[in-house]
Every structure is written in C-alpha cells, then in structure tokens.
C-alpha cells in the first residue's frame, strides 16, 4: 500500500503517501525536531488548503475520494469538476491559505508564540507558518495549469470561448510556466521545484489530452458501437449448454433471456468451478445495462465493474452488447489520427 489514512474530516479521508513519510525522516535528519515541527505545521496548512477546495466542490456535487499528502504538496482526489463551479472550487484553496497566513502573522505579532531553532537560526513558528501560507496561496494563483491559478485561468477563458480551446490555452501557459520553474529549480538546486515543474508539465498535457478524448467519446453513442448480433441463453439451460455455445460462437459472455426480457448475464468465469449440470439461473449475475444513447464515456465507466454491458432500447428490450474488447478495438481505431472517423466525430 502506497498510502495510509491518518484522519477523516468532513467525511473525506486524509492519507499520507509513503514518500511523504520518507520526506519527514529526511527533514528530521537534516533539521532536527524543530524542522520536523515546522513541516508538520506547514502540511497541516496544506490540508486546510485542500479541504477548502473539497468543501466548495462538495457544494457543487463533486465526490471527493480522499486528500493525499505528497512531498510536493497535497492533492484532493475528486470526480469530474463541473465547468460552472471550477472558478469557485479553484480559488477557494488560495483564499484560505492567504487568510490563514495573515491570521497567523497577526496573531504572532500579538502573542508571540514558540520559537524554532533550525540550523542555528531562530524562526517564530506562527510568523513562519503564516508567511509560508501566504506564499503557498500566491504561488498557487500562478496561471500554471493544472494548478489552482491555471484552473482559474481556464474558468475565466471558458466564459468567453469554447471550453476545449480554453483548456488548450491554459495548458500551453502551464507548460511554459513549468519550463521556467524547471530552470529556476535547476539553477537553485531545488529538487522540490523541479518535481513541481515536472508535475505541471505532465499534468497540463495529460489533462488536455483527456479532455479531447472526453469530447470525442461524448459524441460516440452505445448504439453506434454495440454488437447487434445477440446470442443468448435461457435460465433453464445448463452449464453444458453454455459450453457448447462458447465453442460454437467463441463469445466469453452471454445474456440470459427469459420471456423476451434480459434477466441476467453469465460468462466463462462463472462456470470454471461448477458442475456441467448446474442451471444457468443458479450462477447468473445481474446484468449491467446502458441506454442506446449512452456515450462512450458512460460505457467505459460501466465497464469498470463488468466485462460487458447490454444496450437497451426505450422499451427495455435488449438491442446489442458491448464488451471490453469492443471498446479497446474502438480506441485503437480512434488513435489513427488521420482516420476519417475521428475527423467527423471531432467536427
């Protein structure tokens, strides 16, 4: 396991990545206990930063899987961010960091607070954490997609132009910023900046490519890629009957039809350890279905929990089958950049 849970706030698990633990060990080795205390306070602030994102995201109906702490910062792992809510979600984190920084700095001037001694230098804990939070908030506002500032930039651009075009511009700006950060990191021998630069460059290109694929997949419907040739079995058939069908048709999974209705599904994996005399109704599983107008994105999501999905019409009648193999075949076709299909789809 690469991460483990340390807390749960607002129903969101907070997890530490194993590399973060290694970082804390290194911090303690080079900077001692006071350095470790400073880092713990700093990353507690990072958790608040990510919780701010998560709180606003949940208000927009976004599912938050967890907050993961890495050596280069925190990451709120969430489902797809809604286009209309992206600006508020993205700006929430930096606002909380800056306000927290100002609060801690003012509080330090009023009550003082603990003094940390790191490498022979005194650091007022509250003031130092406050300044670092302000820096964290401002740094995240840089228009380096997919960081907060880059998402803010995309949200603002998307209000004036197509969302895909806005993402492309934000991605290009983010990649330019990653080059500048990488150069600065190399010149200053700062491994953290180098890692952040690589993360930004990779994240910017990957998110844009993912959005392009999503836009294309949304235009492909289940009825366009399904296999309309339906070979079914009855609940009263035996496993022996199913094996015969597998030899004849070479399919590894079959719908179970009773009185013209889809009542289950059965596959090769379901029969490997049972008797040939067992009836299909005793081993069949609930079918995973999609409507005819479901998108390829919907189909891929459904295939995450099943080897095949069944395409149903408005009258709840089975019209076709889509297997993982079918989808992989479609993806291979779409990878041919000069293919006429992808040109028509992306119009």
Q: Active-site residue numbers?
A: 50
User: Computed from CA positions of residues 338, 343, 344, 346, in that sequence, does the dihedral angle turn out positive or negative?
Assistant: positive
For 45, residues 6+ apart whose C-beta sits below 8 A from its C-beta are 97, 100, 129, 132, 133, 136
229: exposed, middle or buried (Cβ count in 10 Å: 0-12, 13-18, 19+): exposed
Kindly state the tokens that stand for 130.
């406050």
Q: Could you list the beta-strand ranges (E) of 48-203.
A: 64-70, 73-78, 115-118, 121-124
Asked whether residue 49 is marked as a ligand-binding residue, the answer is: yes
Asked whether residue 270 is marked as a ligand-binding residue, the answer is: no
CB 27 within 8 A of CB 35: yes
* Cα gap 264→272, rounded to integer Å: 18
For 255, residues 6+ apart whose C-beta sits below 8 A from its C-beta are 230, 232, 233, 262, 264, 265, 287, 310, 318, 321
* Cα gap 137→149, rounded to integer Å: 10
Kindly state the tokens that stand for 93.
């984190």
- What is the separation of C-alpha 1 from the centre of its chain, rounded to a whole number of angstroms? 18
Asked whether residue 60 is marked as a ligand-binding residue, the answer is: no
Helix ranges (DSSP H) in 218-255: 222-225, 239-249
Residues annotated in a binding site: 49, 53, 148
Residues annotated in a binding site for Zn(2+): 49, 53, 148
């Amino acid at each position: 396991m690469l991460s483990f849970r340390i807390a749960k706030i607002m129903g969101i698990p907070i997890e530490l990545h194993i590399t973060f633990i290694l970082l804390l060990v290194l911090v303690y080795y080079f900077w001692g206990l006071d350095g470790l205390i400073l880092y713990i306070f700093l990353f507690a602030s990072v958790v608040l930063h990510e919780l701010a994102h998560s709180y606003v995201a949940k208000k927009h109906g976004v599912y938050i899987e967890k907050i993961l702490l890495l050596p280069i910062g925190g990451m709120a792992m969430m489902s797809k961010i809604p286009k209309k809510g992206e600006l508020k979600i993205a700006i929430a984190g930096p606002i909380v960091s800056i306000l927290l920084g100002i609060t801690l700095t003012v509080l330090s001037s009023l009550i003082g607070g603990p003094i940390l001694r790191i490498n022979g230098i005194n650091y007022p804990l509250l003031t130092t954490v406050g300044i670092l939070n302000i820096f964290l908030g401002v740094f995240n506002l840089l228009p380096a997609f997919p960081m907060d500032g880059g998402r803010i930039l995309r949200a603002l651009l998307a209000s004036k132009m197509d969302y895909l075009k806005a993402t492309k511009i934000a991605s290009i700006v983010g990649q330019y910023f990653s080059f500048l950060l990488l150069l600065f990191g190399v010149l200053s021998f700062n491994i953290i900046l180098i890692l952040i630069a690589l993360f930004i460059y990779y994240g910017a290109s990957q998110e844009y490519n993912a959005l392009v694929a999503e836009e294309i997949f949304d235009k492909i419907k289940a009825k366009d890629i399904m296999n309309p040739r339906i070979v079914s079995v009855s609940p009263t058939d035996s496993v022996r009957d199913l094996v015969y069908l597998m030899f004849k048709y070479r399919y590894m999974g079959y719908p179970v039809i009773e009185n013209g209705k889809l009542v289950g599904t059965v596959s090769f994996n379901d029969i490997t350890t049972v008797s040939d005399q067992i009836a299909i109704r005793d081993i069949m599983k609930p079918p995973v279905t999609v409507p005819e107008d479901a998108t390829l994105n919907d189909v891929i999501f459904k295939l995450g929990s099943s080897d095949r999905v069944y395409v149903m019409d408005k009258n709840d009648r089975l019209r076709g089958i889509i297997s993982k193999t079918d989808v992989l075949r479609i993806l291979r076709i779409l990878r041919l950049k000069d293919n006429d299909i992808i040109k028509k789809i992306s119009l």
